[in-house]
A and B are shown apart, each in its own frame.
Chain A
Amino acid sequence: MSESTVNRPVLHRDLSKRSRMLITPEGLALPLTVGSKGARAGALILDLVILLLGFIAVFLLIYAFGLGVLGLSEGDVESSPVLQFIVVMLIMLVFLSRYGYFLWFELGPRAATPGKRLVGLRVAARDGGRLTAEMVIARNLVRDVEVFLPSVFLFGGGAFAGVSGFAAFIWLAIFVLFPVFNKDALRAGDIVAGTWVVEAKQAKLKEAMSLAPDRSSEYRFGEAELSVYGEHELQVLEGVLRQNRPESLREVAEAITTKIGWQLGAGDERQFLEAFYAALRGHLESGMRFGKRKRDKYS
């Protein structure tokens, strides 16, 4: 069974380095996955690109509008009140996009900026409680030192200003690289605000597996044949059945029949696998009810 074709099995997810358990007030342990550093950097870059494109659009619009409709020419900032108004609006727009963009979106019901949504992330309170407006504000104010200051510093050529420039570079690098040096990928703003960024994936409810025609009379599997595999293999098989690709069905069916010593006619793979899946799941689930779990074929 090829590992790469199926989703990561649920039961093995706790082995992953980034998974955390969150206890809800109902006492239910909810697995959360901390957003990977790459995804977070990607989300930030996406947000900055969106901001930049928005700027360019607004500037072009104002330029076209100003030249076309109002017939303004350059150089009369002092005399024209309309032009003054536009400049004021532009300064406020730059300010708002620097702070307001992140605030507005992270205060929304998805608690994620468009960039975060695209890569499947959201902000959450680290203690499992409610994410408050103050938390979002705190984490976004510190963003200034982490993102905007270093970029101004880099593009402004501050890094070439001798000893003090070098000291400033180290100092800013501490902030920028902060998420790399802790296991929850918290940036300084996350620490101050008590938040973290977790994955927020959606899942569709797929069809129940045992609705397929019951073939337990045609294929009879004995105790010895069913005890070859464990939960991990069952879930890999589930993935193969749901994907329903003839080559992989064929491959998996051959692997199983070789293992349990059966002979299989051509064209019966899907039927055989469905029957084997139902039997194996029934077997493992009845074991579960008695508190016996078999993680994989080695246990």
Chain B
Amino acid sequence: MALTLFSKAEIEPPADIEAASLRSDKFRLEREVDWQRLEAIVTALEKNRPKRISDDDLLELPVLYRKTASSLAVARETSLDAATLSYLEALVRRAWFQIYGPRIGLSGWLRYFLGGGWSASIRAIWLDICIAFAVMLAGTVVGWLLVERDESWFFSLVPGGMSGGRVPGADPEVLRETLATTEDANGLGVFAAYLFSNNTGVCIMAFALGFCFGIPTLLLLVYNMALLGAMLWVFADAGLGWEFGAWLSVHGTTEIGAILLSGAAGMHVGRTMAFPGKRSILSAMRHAGVRAAQVMAGCTIMLIVAGLLEGYARQLVGDMGSRYTIGGVMLAFWVLYFAFVPKPQEHET
């Protein structure tokens, strides 16, 4: 046996293999070139620079991965070299994460998502959408009836700062004033951005609270819609019901749609938590959570649109007919998009 001490094992493997006195070290020296090749590929993938990998390496990646995985399996049974074992474990784990890691980045996912992934997952939670819709309708009716019976309910429902003069028995002229447009577009961008970030917060809350069997989500929906019902009654009482509807419909069809969807997504998770069916709770929740997350990501987009409509269109367009047209077109667009855009071809996500 050669007595030379080799420092760089991967340069001349055959000579090194002879130098090793232990069988398990010979095993390791024979294979470590492959391991290091795999490590170089994995490192390039982790740094998100797949172009650095040569074509040969890329073609051999599956082979190298399987070779290394089987090396680990063999080494576990034959070698007591702790450093090699932990190296192999770390390497196989890293390679495994790269091979089974997220395949597409944010932009690729967005393309898949807008191309039908979103509408497909919305169709999948239709039952929860129906429940959320019924609850929201009930909330509006409750708000209306409460204020109709006793006007003091209005003040306990609507926070003081929010009413801004829109209270029961207010002068119709004052109410009409709140529905009017502003003179120019100055400052509206800030307003739109603020509305968007605020509304998204509400929607994400509605979803995230679904975690507790969906009950907090329901309460949130009922409360928000009762507020709307109360406001509706105030305007209807002053004979401005249709004008209020027009004012609301510009952005409301989109915004209330987003709240409906996020409430439904929260409900979906909560309902699955309460009734997991034949699967275990954890696996059922995982499926529901992933589906609901798609719906939620879409709500963000709807809210950007709603914020722009609310900030610009509503403040600039004053005519009742045009307001109803904008709202109606948006509603039709969303319904058609959700109902008819097919799920894209099975995509590796």
Q: Is B11 located at the chain interface by the 8 A CB criterion?
A: no
Q: Whose C-beta in chain A lies nearest to the C-beta of B262? A: A141
Query: With A92-B193, A133-B349, A210-B21 given, is the CB distance from A144 to B208 under 8 Å?
Result: yes
Q: Is B175 located at the chain interface by the 8 A CB criterion?
A: no
When chains A and B are docked, how far (Å) is the Cα of A213 from the Cα of B290? 58
The answer to whether B96 and A24 have CB atoms under 8 Å apart is yes
Query: With A194-B282, A238-B82 given, is the CB distance from A208 to B87 under 8 Å?
Result: no
User: Interface segment, A63-71, A80-88, A245-253?
Assistant: A80-88
Q: Is B151 located at the chain interface by the 8 A CB criterion?
A: no
When chains A and B are docked, how far (Å) is the Cα of A133 from the Cα of B247? 38
User: Interface segment, B140-148, B184-192, B228-236, B316-324?
Assistant: B184-192
List of B residues within 8 angstroms of A239 by Cβ: 82
Chain A, interface residues (CB within 8 Å), range: 35 or more
Chain A window 172-216, contacts with chain B (Cβ cutoff 8 Å), 1 for yes, 0 for no: 000100000000000010011110000011111111111111101
Min CB distance, B184 to chain A, in Å?
Answer: 10
Q: Is A256 located at the chain interface by the 8 A CB criterion?
A: no
A134, A214, A234, A288: which contacts B349 (Cβ < 8 A)?
A: A134
The answer to whether A235 and B3 have CB atoms under 8 Å apart is no
Min CB distance, B143 to chain A, in Å?
Answer: 21
Query: With A30-B96, A77-B187, A141-B208 given, is the CB distance from A193 to B101 under 8 Å?
Result: no
When chains A and B are docked, how far (Å) is the Cα of A193 from the Cα of B32? 38
The answer to whether A192 and B211 have CB atoms under 8 Å apart is yes
User: Interface segment, A35-43, A44-52, A100-108, A153-161?
Assistant: A100-108
When chains A and B are docked, how far (Å) is the Cα of A200 from the Cα of B91? 10
List of A residues within 8 angstroms of B292 by Cβ: 138, 192
Chain A residues 90 to 128 lying within 8 A of chain B, measured CB to CB, are 91-92, 94-95, 99, 103-104, 107-111, 122, 124-128
When chains A and B are docked, how far (Å) is the Cα of A210 from the Cα of B80? 12
A84, A124, A129: which contacts B190 (Cβ < 8 A)?
A: A84
When chains A and B are docked, how far (Å) is the Cα of A26 from the Cα of B65? 10
Q: Which of B3, B45, B73, B81 gathers the greatest number of chain A CB atoms within 10 Å?
A: B81
Query: With A95-B196, A211-B16, A214-B1 given, is the CB distance from A132 to B93 under 8 Å?
Result: no
When chains A and B are docked, how far (Å) is the Cα of A205 from the Cα of B70? 17
Query: With A141-B208, A193-B293 given, is the CB distance from A208 to B25 under 8 Å?
Result: yes
Q: Whose C-beta in chain A lies nearest to the C-beta of B194? A: A91
Chain B residues 187 to 225 lying within 8 A of chain A, measured CB to CB, are 187, 189-190, 192-194, 196-197, 200-201, 204-205, 207-209, 211
List of B residues within 8 angstroms of A135 by Cβ: 286, 289-290, 293
Q: Is B28 located at the chain interface by the 8 A CB criterion?
A: yes
Chain B window 90-121, contacts with chain A (Cβ cutoff 8 Å), 1 for yes, 0 for no: 11111011101111111001000000000000
Q: Which DSSP category, helix, strand, loop or mixed, fits chain B's interface?
A: helix
List of A residues within 8 angstroms of B109 by Cβ: 107, 133
When chains A and B are docked, how far (Å) is the Cα of A129 from the Cα of B287? 13
Q: Is A10 located at the chain interface by the 8 A CB criterion?
A: yes
The answer to whether B78 and A103 have CB atoms under 8 Å apart is no
Q: Which of B73, B80, B186 gathers the greatest number of chain A CB atoms within 10 Å?
A: B80
Min CB distance, B262 to chain A, in Å?
Answer: 9
Min CB distance, B292 to chain A, in Å?
Answer: 7
List of A residues within 8 angstroms of B3 by Cβ: 213-214
Q: Is A163 located at the chain interface by the 8 A CB criterion?
A: no
Q: Is B69 located at the chain interface by the 8 A CB criterion?
A: yes
List of A residues within 8 angstroms of B286 by Cβ: 126-127, 135, 191-194
Chain A window 212-241, contacts with chain B (Cβ cutoff 8 Å), 1 for yes, 0 for no: 111010000000000000010011001100
The answer to whether A191 and B285 have CB atoms under 8 Å apart is yes
List of B residues within 8 angstroms of A278 by Cβ: 21-22
Q: Is A72 located at the chain interface by the 8 A CB criterion?
A: no
Chain B window 267-287, contacts with chain A (Cβ cutoff 8 Å), 1 for yes, 0 for no: 001000000000000110111
Query: With A95-B200, A238-B81 given, is the CB distance from A203 to B190 under 8 Å?
Result: no
A137, A142, A145: which contacts B294 (Cβ < 8 A)?
A: A137
List 13 extra interface pairs beyond A109-B98, A126-B286, A137-B296, CB under 8 A: A78-B187, A131-B100, A132-B102, A134-B291, A138-B289, A175-B211, A200-B94, A201-B90, A203-B91, A213-B5, A214-B21, A216-B21, A285-B22
Task: Name 30 interchain pairs, CB-CB below 8 A, sorted by A.
Answer: A11-B82, A84-B189, A91-B196, A107-B105, A108-B102, A108-B105, A109-B47, A110-B46, A111-B101, A127-B283, A130-B100, A134-B293, A145-B208, A192-B286, A194-B285, A194-B287, A203-B89, A205-B87, A207-B7, A208-B28, A208-B81, A211-B5, A211-B9, A213-B3, A214-B21, A234-B80, A238-B81, A238-B83, A239-B82, A285-B22
Q: Can you list the 5 inter-chain pairs with the closest CB atoms, starting with the nearest?
A: A194-B286, A138-B293, A192-B289, A203-B90, A145-B208
